[in-house]
């Protein structure tokens, strides 16, 4: 038995219904494609780097991360004059390369150490933006170990930022969520009142990413 093509055997009414059905299917497919395309078109160029940095911080572990932070903090003060002003990037990168290139570098792996050191360097430069002068003076006067007090204060700010990440709906891909939040966060208003510890001011992408990677990588994630 020869099968006739569907179009040939369909009555005009059925043909109209078929066309309508095909049109609906095409429309749904187009909508799905458009939504998917829109989702893919979001800025994700830096997500891979964020993922690498996050993995590096996690790979160091709490002890390794603290050791790297302490070493770079000391290098920034001794080599880059961090105690008199914001250290330059070139000096900090040089110090980080020296720390990671030497024997007994934290983490053992040079690439991983440098990825984590990048986070530490960005955090070192953002300290003045995250903690105002009054708070820093209070820390200097009220604590025996300034570095530890500063780290604790910074950690509070990072935690506030991480809560924003959670509220923004961080999915399975934390690096992508961090990249997206930090790329968009600065586009909205973040005016903080003086002394408001629960408010993190407007931050450039690099500083926002560094803070979140350090916190999320050091605490085991956003969940």
Partner 1 sequence: MSGASAHNLGVKTIGAIALSAIALTVGARRHALDPAYLRHLSPAACFLVGLVACLAVALIGVGWRFGARSRLGIGLVRGRPALIEDAAARRTHDLPGVVQRLLLTAGFAGVVLAALGNHAAARIVQLPDELGAPAPSEYCMPEPVEAAAPAPAAAPAAPVEQPGCALVMRAFKLGYAKSLGSCAPRQAAPVAVETKKPRREVCTRRQLDEPYLHYGFRRVAGAAGTASSVDPIAAADHRVSDVRTHLDFLDGLLADIRHAITGTPHASHHLWVNLPDPHPQSIGERFTGSERCSQRFADLPLWPAWQPGDDARLVEHVLGQLLFATRFGSTASCSDYIIHWDAAPDTCRQLAADPVATLDRDGALAPIRAVLDRRRRQLEIGELATALGRQPPVAPPGAAAIVSVACFVVDAPGATGARDATGGTIALDGDAISLREIHVAGVRTGGDGPIDVYAGLARLLGGPGGDLAAATRTPEPVELSGDDFLLARLDPLIDADPFRGARDPLGHPEIVEVYPFEHHLHGFIDGFRRRYLAQRGRL
65 binds partner 1 (CB under 8 A): no
Query: 108, 102, 99, 101: which is closest to 80 by C-alpha?
Result: 99
Does the protein bind partner 1 through residue 96 (CB under 8 A)? Answer: yes
Q: Which of 60, 71, 80, 114 binds partner 1 (CB under 8 A)?
A: 114
Shortest Å distance, C-beta 151 to partner 1: 18
119 to 158: interface string for partner 1, x by CB under 8 A: x-xx--xx--x-----------------------------
Longest dimension (CA), the chain: 97
User: Which among 118-126, 145-153, 165-173, 215-223 is the span making contact with partner 1, rule CB under 8 A?
Assistant: 118-126
Instruction: Report the distance separating Cα 122 and Cα 124, nearest Å.
Output: 5
Q: Which is nearer to partner 1, 79 or 202 (CB)?
A: 202
- Secondary structure, 3-state, 24-91: HHHHHHHHHHHHHHHHHCCCCCCHHHHHHHHHHHHHHHHHHHHHHHHHHHHHHHHHCCCCCCCCCHHH
Q: How many residues does the chain have?
A: 223
Q: How far is the CB of 37 from partner 1 (least distance, A)?
A: 16
We find the least distance from the C-beta atom of residue 122 to partner 1, in angstroms, to be 4
How far is it, in rounded angstroms, from Cα 12 to Cα 7? Answer: 9
Task: Please identify which residue in 99, 162, 210, 216 interacts with partner 1, judged by CB under 8 A.
Answer: 210
Q: Identify the residue among 3, 13, 141, 187 touching partner 1 (CB under 8 A).
A: 187
Rounded to the nearest angstrom, the gap between the alpha carbon of residue 209 and the centroid of all alpha carbons in its chain is: 3
Q: Is the distance from CB of 222 to CB of 168 less than 8 angstroms? A: no
Give the binding site for partner 1 (CB under 8 A). Answer: 43, 45-46, 49, 53, 88-90, 92-93, 96, 114-115, 117-119, 121-122, 125-126, 129, 182-183, 186-187, 189, 202, 204-207, 209-210
């Amino acid at each position: 038995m020869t099968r006739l093509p569907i179009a040939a055997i369909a009555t005009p009414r059925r043909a109209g219904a078929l066309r309508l059905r095909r049109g609906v299917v095409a429309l749904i497919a187009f909508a799905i494609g458009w939504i998917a395309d829109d989702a893919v078109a979001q800025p994700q160029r830096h997500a891979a780097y964020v993922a690498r940095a996050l993995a590096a911080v996690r790979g160091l572990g709490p002890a390794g991360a603290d050791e790297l932070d302490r070493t770079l903090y000391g290098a920034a003060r001794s080599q880059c004059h961090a105690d008199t002003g914001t250290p330059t990037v070139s000096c900090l990168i040089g110090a980080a390369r020296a720390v990671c290139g030497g024997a007994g570098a934290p983490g053992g792996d040079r690439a991983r150490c440098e990825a984590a050191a990048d986070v530490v360097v960005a955090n070192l430069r953002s300290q003045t933006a995250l903690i105002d002068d009054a708070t820093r003076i209070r820390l200097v006067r009220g604590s025996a170990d300034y570095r530890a007090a500063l780290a604790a204060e910074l950690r509070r700010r990072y935690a506030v930022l991480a809560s924003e990440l959670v509220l923004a709906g961080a999915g399975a891909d934390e690096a992508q969520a961090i990249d997206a939040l930090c790329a968009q966060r600065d586009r909205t208003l973040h005016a903080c009142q003086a002394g408001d510890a629960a408010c993190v001011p407007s931050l450039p992408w690099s500083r926002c990413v560094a803070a979140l990677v350090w916190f999320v990588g050091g605490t085991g994630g956003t969940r």
